[in-house]
Amino acid sequence: MAAINLNVNGKTVTVDVDPATPVLWVLRDHLNLVGTKFGCGMAQCGACTIHLNGNAVRSCTLPVSAVKNNAIVTIEGISETGDHPLQQAWEELDVSQCGYCQAGQIMSAASLLKRNPKPTDKDIDNAMSGNICRCGTHVRIRKAIHLAAKTQSKK
Amino acid sequence: MENFKTNNSRRAFLKSSLLAGGGLMISFSGLAKFSLDGKINAADLPGEWYELTGYIKITQDNIIKIFNPNPEFGQNVMTSLPMIVAEELDVDWKKVVVEMGPHDNVKLGPQFTGGSNSVRMYWKPLRDAGAAARNMIITAAAQTWNVPAEEITTKAGMLYHEKTGKSGTYGEFASKASAIPIPKEVKLKDVKDFNVVRHSQKNVEGVKIVTGKPLFGLDYTQEGTLIAMIEHPPAFGMKVKSFDAAETLKMPGIKDVFTLKLYEDGYEQAGFDTRTFNDLLVVVGATTWEVMNARKKLKVTWEPKGDTKDKMAGRGGSREVLVPGALESTATHFAKMKEYAAKPAQLLRKDGDPETAFKNAAKVIERTYNAPFLAHNCMEPMNCFAHVADDKALIVGPHQAASWIEPTLSKVLNLPADKIDMQITRMGGGFGLRAYGHTFVEAAIISKKVKAPVKLMYTREDDMTYGIYRPMYTATYRAAFDANKNLIAFHVKGGGIPENPIHANRFPAGAVDNYLAEGWEIPSNITIGAFRAPRSNFNAAAEQSFLDEVAEVMGKDPIEFRLELLKRAKENPVGKNNEYDADRYAEVLRLVKEKSGWSDAANKQYSRGVAAYFCHNSYAAHVVDVVKKDGQPFVERVTSVVDCGIVINPDAATNMVQGAVVDGIGNALYGEQTFKEGVPEKNNFTRYRMIRHREAPKKIDVHFVQNDINPTGLGEPPFPPIFAAVANALYKSEKKRFYNQPFSAEFQKKA
């Protein structure tokens, strides 16, 4: 066990955990931030995607000791009021079915849009193929990312 | 307007809901704080609610709450079922607060998600409930205003009396209305007057989903909750012999390690009690990561379970089912299926004289289709929260049918059902798997043992190797032709491990003079269960691929050929008990032909395949367009047509059909669970291939047949035919037929 300081969604928090604990379980079990989902534990499905310094990473295989001073952002922190262009686009196109994977999808998409504000279908497919959606909302996710890109470019 | 007489049970049901409600209802269930619509915070709502039928509560300030009775796993019932109530209640949908209902079969009906039945079974009761409540509010207003009830009109949660100019909100009369007896007869709206139903409404939990609010079973917890995991045998047919937990118990956070029996010896299993592993080796600790880690330090000796007999409840009394103990492998499964396929089988249906027709045929074709075991792979792994005390239990989790598992919990915990509070969370997928109750029983008996609230968690590996798979199936189809290439006889003989897939009374039964259907089964210790459109998901794949070959032999267009068979089935049906409506079946084919531009020269660039199917009372047809991408066949575009009667929430229904298409493509191309000496070979997404974004179609156009037929199933019907549409398109693309799922195995061989 060790006291570890983290910057999560703009706030500094201290957790007392085994340094090998994946960030996913620190978020879920210790910080009660359950928007980040457990899917596979092997960085294969993307349900646990968060941002580390703005880049999408799989939190289920990232030991908390490796985070150090890098800022963590989760689905709860991607916008103050749930009005990130991607969240709005997801709403507008009613993307979700069961909804379990969607936080991870949005976090991957947000990282993509930061690097590439006008992604093509192929860019989207490449950036998003690490995120599984079992309900099959892929066509709407693609459309929603294009819609959010459009909204962002107008801002 | 349609006059709908409330029948006896219905009346009793509504009455009892009133009695139970007693008018004034206060506060929320523990779950309510995270199941309300994201836009209104329950904590801010007033405390006094007047209950009008079990589905509706209204405040004096005219806040209208509608309870969704049925578990939500992505099929949109949380939105679409309350829409039905709102329609007949005549309220402004935008002002409705939706909440997941409590588990209460007296108030809220069967509360079962599965068999594409949610909307179908709730359509009448929910219309009835909405109309009855509206009627009661009108009666209350008529008494207060001293005017005839017939002269009062309603609109968007308001009441109007034109002659006197009086108006008021539903809320003003809610208290009085809640004491009015249930009307014996209620008038339902004419479908042409619908302004909520048949109009696309957004998912009521959409905002919560995209902002990461706690919604799912996995997100539920309480102060002091311990985490539990089960170390299950590495292979089907094995059980725990002994274990050494010394190292595990030394690990931080670990409270206890023990074994438990899921069911006691001689327990009679109900239909959805399916046991996979009866001896549970359990690790309990403080946090998920600590338990995951410590569990790896267990030293376990496993031993063969041997043949066992399961006592199963069934129609006409209990029966014993022999479960063979031998460790099974996929290679031996195939060999055994070949052996059984050659043996005489059970006759399922026979029309005419198929034997003679095949003997005298000018030409016979015979093809065999195979499909593997499939894991459901819900994105939310199985889990359940349980807090069992001596005199009561709280069970919270993602389950398709709390009502089926509650009697089992009652038996296993030795508690009356009314002492078990079951709360239903949103599910991160279900696909049939979450209709089975073993996870809930496991959580409950673990909590009872450790005398604390417990969250049972499955890892992905646990989830994927725990069984309840879609069975492994095979079917051999034969068609006989006369010298003029007319189809004169049709034969299907199908079997599976451990279940025969054949639906003997479905198309093309009824359309061919000489018809024979047979089935057989091979017992197994690998547990199986419902998987989105059980049996249909294989039958459609095989039969609709075979019909493509039959059409080809006859030199006919595959759509025209099917339409000819359906014409025959309608005009002069062969045999009895044909399950499908030939007109509705033909219509989805005609429409998919039109909408896909089947005959357009512009679509020649695509390798196209068509398939249609009837199941769960609905009809679906797809045209799949394949192109080559990076040297591999790729499904670029799909056109889908569905007839499921009245569509409640069109955009959400479209989403579900699109999802079924992607799910079908994914499983047809990649889905497979295999075994070696009882060990499931795929235990995570590293080995179990799932469809990815780059493999999903660019475009899925969905069309619904417009009619006023009462709603039939939607979650399952579009799924089965996509497999065959893919196979038939692949034939055009790859110039070879695909008989063995998953089809991508054949591209990989080629590459």
pLDDT at site B391: 97
Task: Give the fold, CATH level 3, of A2-77.
Answer: Ubiquitin-like (UB roll) (3.10.20)
Please check whether residue B730 lies inside any domain of the structure: yes
Among residues A150, A140, A66, A116, the alpha carbon closest in space to that of B210 is found at: A140
Tens of pLDDT, residue by residue over A54-111, are 999 999 999 999 999 999 999 999 997 889 999 999 999 999 999 999 999 999 999 9
Question: Which residue among B661, B694, B700 sits closest to A125, beta carbon to beta carbon?
Answer: B694
Tokens 């922190």 locate to: A77
Give pLDDT, residue B186: 93
pLDDT of residue B45: 53
DSSP A82: S
How many domains does the structure of chain B reveal?
Answer: 3
Last residue of a domain, one of B173, B194, B210: B210
pLDDT of residue B522: 97
Architecture of the domain spanning A85-154? Orthogonal Bundle (1.10)
Q: Is B422 within the bounds of a domain? A: yes
In order along chain B (751 residues), what is the average pLDDT of each group of 10 residues?
39 35 29 34 63 94 96 97 98 95 93 94 96 97 98 98 98 96 90 97 97 97 97 97 98 97 92 88 98 98 94 83 95 98 98 98 98 98 98 97 94 96 97 95 98 98 97 98 98 97 97 98 96 98 98 98 98 96 98 98 96 98 96 96 98 98 98 98 98 98 98 97 98 97 83 49
B360 in a structural domain: no
B210, B234, B250 - which closes a domain:
B210
Answer whether residue B472 is part of any domain: no
Residue B173's identity, in one-letter code, is F
Task: Give, in degrees to the nearest 5, the angle at Cα A109 between A107 and A110.
Answer: 65
Residues B132 and B200 in one domain: yes
CB A45 to CB B666 under 8 A? no
Same domain? For B198 and B165 the reply is yes
Give domain status of residue B105, yes or no. yes
In whole angstroms, how far apart are CA B567 and each of B379, B480, B507, B586?
43, 20, 12, 8
Residue contact B211–A132, C-beta within 8 A? no
Q: Are residues B633 and B651 in the same domain?
A: yes
Task: Among A17, A28, A40, A64, pick the best mutation site for testing chain B contact (most B Cβ within 10 A).
Answer: A40
Residues B161 and B268 in one domain: no
Residue B316 is predicted with a pLDDT of 75
Same domain, B35 and B141: yes
DSSP state of B184: S
Amino acid of residue B178: S
Sheet holding A49-52, edge to edge: A11-17, A2-8, A71-73, A49-52, A55-58
Residues of chain B numbered 420-459 and touching chain A (CB < 8 Å): 426-431, 459
Task: Tell me whether B287 touches chain A (CB under 8 Å).
Answer: yes
For residues B347 and B519, what is the distance between their CA atoms, to the nearest angstrom?
7
* Statement to judge: residues B386 and B276 lie in one domain: yes
B window 188-247, beta carbon within 8 A of A:
200, 202-203, 205-207, 209-216, 218-219, 227
Q: Closest-CA residue in chain B for A81?
A: B211
CB contact under 8 A, B203 and A94: yes
**B38: in domain:** yes
Question: Which distant-in-sequence residues (6+ apart) come within 8 Å of B270 by Cβ?
Answer: B313, B404, B407, B408
| CB nearest B211 (choices: A87, A94, A142) | A87
What is the C-alpha to C-alpha distance for residues B102 and B8, in angstroms, rounded to an integer? 24
Instruction: DSSP letter for B373, please.
Output: B
* Contact call for B379 and A39, based on CB within 8 A: yes
**Phi (first) and psi of residue B232, to 5 degrees:** -100, 160
Q: Is residue B661 part of a domain?
A: yes
Quote the minimal CA–CA distance from B201 to chain A in Å. Answer: 9
- Burial of A79: CB neighbours in 10 Å, binned 0-12, 13-18, 19+: middle
Smallest Cα–Cα separation from B379: which of B423, B422, B455, B433? B433
Instruction: Identify the sign of the CA torsion B561, B564, B568, B569.
Output: positive
Task: For residues B205 and B222, state if they share a domain.
Answer: no
At B314 the pLDDT is: 75
* B514 is a domain residue: no
Tell how many helices (H) and how many strands (E) occur in chain A: 5, 5
In this structure, are B279 and B419 located in the same domain?
yes
Domain boundaries, chain A: 2-77, 85-154
Contact B516, B343 (CB under 8 A): no
Q: Is the preceding omega at residue B508 within 30 degrees of 0, hence cis?
A: yes
If asked whether residues B684 and B586 sit together in one domain, one would say yes
- Which domain-ending residue is among B210, B243, B277? B210
Q: Rounded distance, CA A78 to CA A75, Å?
A: 5
Domain encompassing residue B8: 2-210
Q: Which of A44, A98, A121 lies at the smallest CB-CB distance from B428? A: A98
Return the residue matching tokens 């990561």.
B289
Contact B607, B712 (CB under 8 A): no
pLDDT at B181: 86
Q: Tell me which chain A residues have a C-beta less than 8 angstroms from the C-beta of B700.
A: 139
CB pair distance less than 8 Å for A102 and B700: no
Burial of B338 (0-12, 13-18, 19+ CB in 10 A): exposed
Determine the distance in angstroms separating the CA of A69 from the nearest CA of chain B, rounded to an integer.
Answer: 22
Based on the fold, state whether residues B391 and B288 are members of the same structural domain: yes
pLDDT at B749: 62
Verify that B733 and B612 share a domain, yes or no: yes
For residue B729, give the 3-state DSSP assignment: helix
φ/ψ bin of B259: left (φ > 0), alpha (ψ from -120 to 50), beta (otherwise): beta
State whether ipTM is beyond 0.85. yes
Check if A2-77 and A85-154 are the same fold.
no
Q: Are strands A71-73 and A2-8 parallel, antiparallel or unpaired?
A: parallel
Q: Which residues of B touch A4 (CB under 8 A)?
A: none
Tell me the DSSP string of B443-465: HHHHHHHHTS-EEEE--HHHHHT
Q: Is the peptide bond before B742 cis (omega within 30 degrees of 0)?
A: yes
If asked whether residues B201 and B245 sit together in one domain, one would say no
